Amino acid sequence: MIDITDFQKVDFRVGTILRAEVFEEAKKPAYKLWIDLGEELGIKKSSAQITDLYKIQELPGKQVLCITNFPPKQIANFISEVLVTGVNNSQGHVALFTTDKPVPNGHKLY
């Protein structure tokens, strides 16, 4: 069990995917994402293994929930600055956590 202060250490923010590219150099199929996280954080990059459920052309404009305070991680020749969140479906494919209504980029999950 954790308490609320542990949960509050994780900085969850909503952002809008601006751009997506196939991540050719990744070991496992993935996309490179550029995500607008609002004025405070700006545009951040992420690598996401979501190719099973998402076509690259449907990603721009989608709002996603990101963890923004993990250290950057180098994946091949790309620096992933935020973690895009999701959950495995019954086939083990990642379904993104998204909003069902538009919210301002950069807003926090509480």
Number of domains in the chain: 1
Domain assignment present for residue 109? The answer is no
The pLDDT value given to residue 28: 94
**57: containing domain:** 4-96
40-89: per-residue pLDDT in tens? 999 999 999 999 999 999 999 999 999 999 999 999 999 999 999 999 99
The pLDDT value given to residue 36: 98
SS3 54: coil
Domain assignment present for residue 84? The answer is yes
pLDDT at 110 over 90: no
Residue 105: its H or E element: none
The pLDDT value given to residue 12: 97
Give me the sign of the Cα torsion angle 94, 99, 105, 106.
negative
4-32: per-residue pLDDT in tens? 999 999 999 999 999 999 999 999 999 99
Domain assignment present for residue 107? The answer is no
* CATH label of the domain that carries residue 34: 2.40.50.140
The pLDDT value given to residue 31: 98
Domain assignment present for residue 8? The answer is yes
2 Cβ contact partners less than 8 Å away, ≥ 6 residues apart: none
Domain assignment present for residue 50? The answer is yes
Domain assignment present for residue 22? The answer is yes
Alpha helix segments (H runs only) across the chain: 4-8, 38-41
Domain assignment present for residue 25? The answer is yes
The pLDDT value given to residue 14: 98
DSSP state of 28: S
Which regions of 10-55 does DSSP assign to beta strands (E)?
12-22, 31-36, 43-48
Domain assignment present for residue 54? The answer is yes
